[in-house]
Amino acid sequence: MASLSRALRVAAACPRQSPTRGLGPCNLSSASGPTAEKSVPYQRTLKEGQGTSVVAQGPSRPLPSTANVVVIGGGSLGCQTLYHLAKLGMSGAVLLERERLTSGTTWHTAGLLWQLRPSDVEVELLAHTRRVVSRELEEETGLHTGWIQNGGLFIASNRQRLDEYKRLMSLGKAYGVESHVLSPAETKTLYPLMNVDDLYGTLYVPHDGTMDPAGTCSTLARAASARGAQVIENCPVTGIRVWTDDFGVRRVAGVETPHGSIQTPCVVNCAGVWASAVGRMAGVKVPLVAMHHAYVVTERIEGIQNMPNVRDHDASVYLRLQGDALSVGGYEANPIFWEEVSDKFAFGLFDLDWEVFTQHIEGAITRVPVLEKTGIKSTVCGPESFTPDHKPLMGEAPELRGFFLGCGFNSAGMMLGGGCGQELAHWIIHGCPEKDMHGYDIRRFHHSLTDHPRWIRERSHESYAKNYSVVFPHDEPLAGRNMRRDPLHEELLGQGCVFQERHGWERPGWFHPQGPAPVLEYDYYGAYGSRPHEDYAYRRLLADEYTFDFPPHHDTIKKECLACRGAAAVFDMSYFGKFYLVGLDARKAADWLFSADVSRPPGSTVYTCMLNHRGGTESDLTVSRLAPSHQASPLAPAFEGDGYYLAVGGAVAQHNWSHITTVLQDQKFQCQLIDSSEDLGMVSIQGPASRAILQEVLDADLSNEAFPFSTHKLLRAAGHLVRAMRLSFVGELGWELHIPKASCVPVYRAVMAAGAKHGLVNAGYRAIDSLSIEKGYRHWHADLRPDDSPLEAGLAFTCKLKSPVPFLGREALEQQRAAGLRRRLVCFTVEDKVPMFGLEAIWRNGQVVGHVRRADFGFAIDKTIAYGYIHDPSGGPVSPLVKERGLCLERMGVTYGARAHLKSPFDPDNKRVKGIY
């Protein structure tokens, strides 16, 4: 049998592939398609899929004529979703699998479960999977799922990697996940076969483990069936029936198969690699790609028994305990795309491309030297689906009501399956998940991105290639850039703007004093014969961000912040979503959608939230009441009656659009939502000098009496019509100018010219992050999420609870207020000048009471500022905790004394916003 060292020699002798052409890489595998049989660890499962196709024998049981939910796909996510639907009491749930359970990608998965990830939501999802697989299923069915708890070991061969693991350790403490940072010597004691000469240290998580795909899925199916669900194998879906209701809304009507059809209002696409094809049946775009993903299984290794699983990110390799052998795999920079996804593929594998796999072998031998002389028992190379941001695709598709996604799990479907299956089931039954699933919600992608194959391909490649990279707080993608650029893009690029990317939009991050740093065309990091950019200023600046300390340009961001506090700064916020809500029922819709009272006179602007029925915050935004007009203009459509102009953060604009649209459909409001995001730009001028600057540009009196805070007017700016709003997201006197696209550059130049003598500077979102946290303004999806209520977030003032007007989420808020808050968002300041970024544990009297959601440095108060939710571990009201002293924040295993604040530590009386300096 070949050894790993021989595989290395074979790979080195292989001729290099020639450069590819077109949008991206071609299939570099030597095989034209998947092989039918391999020697794999799951031989029983593989043999079940050989010979005559069992699909031809017909479905494993008769199809029902109707179902409340049809789940498509019998892999990890399909089985977990069906099980949790049944467990939550959903009757009439059916799973259709075209072949046998696990036959697509699940059967060949490595089945690893690591409890710690750099996301609090994912830690919770993983914890649920572990509970289901390690305990609940066995208690429920009496069957063992194949769970093995052998622990997990994260390898750090440099200081930054160990710092990353220490951050995970601190977050884990908030969720009761036991972990330990070990020295190289301690690591050697735990894992004697490991080479530790080059290590900084390791993170050991004793309760990590391994799942058996076949055992888990079969047990899930049996448990779901016992609760009344049906599992039908050998039944491929050939079509999705759709109907259009009286309001023009497309809805699921049923599924079609070669053996009959099932009438249903709800379909769940858990088809993995084949999810895009299922989506096309329904007219739904599913942004994922299929790639080869491989591992090899070694011969027996003496002394490896009972060792923990290993993840050496810097060597791009994992080592999974496989009885008395190891499975070796990882993520390479040049993965092979599966260009033509076959619908006949079942229990199959590809030939392993040793040239692609070489780096994993090298890393494995370096880490466990005995592998150099160990034979290879089998190779496993199968398809997996990967997405543009390496996050799953979940939730209801905006194009089709009743069509849910549970796919694109980036080879993590087994470990995330339990948590995501539970959330998906809750989503289907109750209309929203229990946890914050925005990062997984398919509504996060703008249609211009899901329509663009190059963007999907580039970003999915980069996400795969960087899967084992250190997750730094301020990293940015290099793939799929310059998709959506606002009218000021070129103007700001020439002034040294270093851009960030948010869901396709290029937005200003900060301004580099040494000149332009454009984002260049994606070079695939030199893979597939592409030539990497040699002189790449943007990438060099991005590399400076690869730190958990203050970056080299910390002082540049400080100058932008202090200029805003001391004089004025201009922020390009053109990427914001800008919607109009008009029509016969616009006022009814606004009353129901928005938690605050927006039924103010035309000319008023209100900061408000939008909630779900659980009282969780789906968005925060500003709503401006418009005066009716019979004539359309670039700044307002023609309408009669009531109309509103909505401004929402650009990174969540698509989520907002989808949420509003869904509510309008559910409530059957007769009104129109118009998206003008691409037609309007937006600049915000903030600071003590903003009034003096804009007084030279705008044809209006800007005094407090003539132009109060939270109002808006149509004005002329340097001769161009704009909508001016007196608002602030940084805690200063300031105005936003909403500008027709064609007028953005001349208005911006007029503002800069007027501000030259007042010290006006350009500033980006890094400054906004710092200034806003200093003032205590909330960031949605950081401080404020769909699982946080406005009461918990300190935003009770945005809720019209004193009025009798009903609104979405009101009942939940009233129940929460009556019961008393059990958690609360609190501001902390730290005297020590240490950087914090979020995920730090919050301690009180030796107990963890929460973790930090968002942190930044406040330059005006010269302190680190953090916001996090705290709770009483005993389950009591949270109020007494907030007033206590002795709270600490843990950063990478070191605790720092912190002071808690319920009001902003900067300008708590809001004088500056009122123009009082």
Q: Give the pLDDT of residue 15.
A: 46
Token pair listed for 365: 């031998």
Q: Give the pLDDT of residue 44.
A: 36
Core vs surface per residue 86-107: b (16+ CB within 10 A) or e: bbeebebbbbbbbbbbbbbbbb
DSSP 136: I
* pLDDT lower than 70: segments of the chain: 1-56, 880-884
Closest CA to 463 of 388, 544, 536, 513: 388
How many Cα atoms within 13 Å fall on the side-chain side of residue 867? Answer: 27
The Cα 280–Cα 260 span in angstroms is 20
- HEC string of 835-898 equals CCCCCCEEEECCEEEEEEEEEEEECCCCEEEEEEEEECCCCCCCHHHHCCCCEEEEECCEEEEE
The Cα 255–Cα 269 span in angstroms is 11
| Phi, psi for residue 276 in degrees, rounded to 5 | -65, -40
Q: Give the pLDDT of residue 874.
A: 85
Cβ(318)–Cβ(112) below 8 Å? yes
| Contacts (Cβ under 8 Å, ≥6 apart) of 19 | 528, 529, 530
Q: Give the pLDDT of residue 651.
A: 86
Is 148 in a helix, a strand, or coil? strand
Token pair listed for 472: 């730094």
Q: Give the pLDDT of residue 770.
A: 98
**Which residue is it, tokens 């009122």?**
914
Tell me: the pLDDT tens digits for 413-435? 999 999 999 999 999 999 999 99
Token pair listed for 140: 């429920």
The Cα 632–Cα 645 span in angstroms is 14
Q: Give the pLDDT of residue 879.
A: 74
Distance of CA 388 to the CA centre of its chain: 11
The Cα 798–Cα 248 span in angstroms is 33
DSSP 807: -
Give all domains of the chain, ordered by start, each with its CATH number.
69-107+213-288+390-440 (3.50.50.60), 143-211+290-386 (3.30.9.10), 453-554 (no CATH), 576-676+781-811 (3.30.70.1400), 820-916 (2.40.30.110)
How many Cα atoms within 13 Å fall on the side-chain side of residue 357? Answer: 27
- HEC string of 65-118 equals CECCEEEECCCHHHHHHHHHHHHCCCCCEEEECCCCCCCCCHHHCCCEECCCCC
Q: Give the pLDDT of residue 877.
A: 83
Alpha helices in 651-759 (DSSP H): 653-667, 690-695, 744-755
Own/partner long-range contacts of 873-878 (Cβ < 8 Å, ≥24 apart): 873/847, 873/848, 873/849, 875/822, 876/822, 877/820, 877/821, 877/822, 878/821, 878/822, 878/823, 878/824
The Cα 92–Cα 314 span in angstroms is 48
Helix (H) or strand (E) holding 241: strand 239-244
